[in-house]
């Protein structure tokens, strides 16, 4: 598994995170891990941007996919 170090987090944020962890009955590390995992999926807009970036790498034009087509294909 990967690791991340977050520096200079404001004390009030740390306090809120510790409170969330305590209320959930879990460690601060697990609480933050759960929050990151829950917020990591790409949004439909990010999927469109990723698709456009991918298509820009090729010289032959490829029709862009709609948000709905991307959403259906990546479920």
Structural domain including 48 reads 44-73
Q: Each residue of 15-57: pLDDT tens digit?
A: 999 999 999 999 999 999 999 999 999 999 999 999 899 888 8
Band of residue 75 on the pLDDT scale cut at 50, 70, 90: low
Q: Residue 6 falls within a domain, yes or no?
A: no
- 53 found inside a domain: yes
Does the residue 14 lie in any domain?
no
Tokens of 28: 């601060």
Longest dimension (CA), the chain: 55
Exposed, middle or buried, 28 (CB in 10 Å: 0-12/13-18/19+)? middle
Does a structural domain hold residue 51? Answer: yes
Evaluate if residue 73 carries a pLDDT over 60.
Answer: yes
pLDDT at 27 (0 to 100): 97
Contact 70, 47 (CB under 8 A): yes
Alpha-carbon gap, residue 55 to 51, rounded angstroms: 6
Number of domains in the chain: 1
Q: Does some domain include residue 48? A: yes
């Amino acid at each position: 598994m990967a690791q991340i170090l977050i520096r200079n987090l404001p004390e009030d944020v740390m306090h809120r995170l510790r409170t969330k962890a305590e209320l959930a009955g879990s460690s601060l590390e697990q609480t933050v891990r759960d929050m990151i995992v829950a917020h990591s999926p790409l949004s439909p807009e990010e999927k469109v941007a990723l698709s456009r970036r991918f298509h820009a790498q090729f010289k032959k034009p490829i029709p862009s996919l709609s948000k709905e087509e991307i959403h259906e294909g990546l479920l």
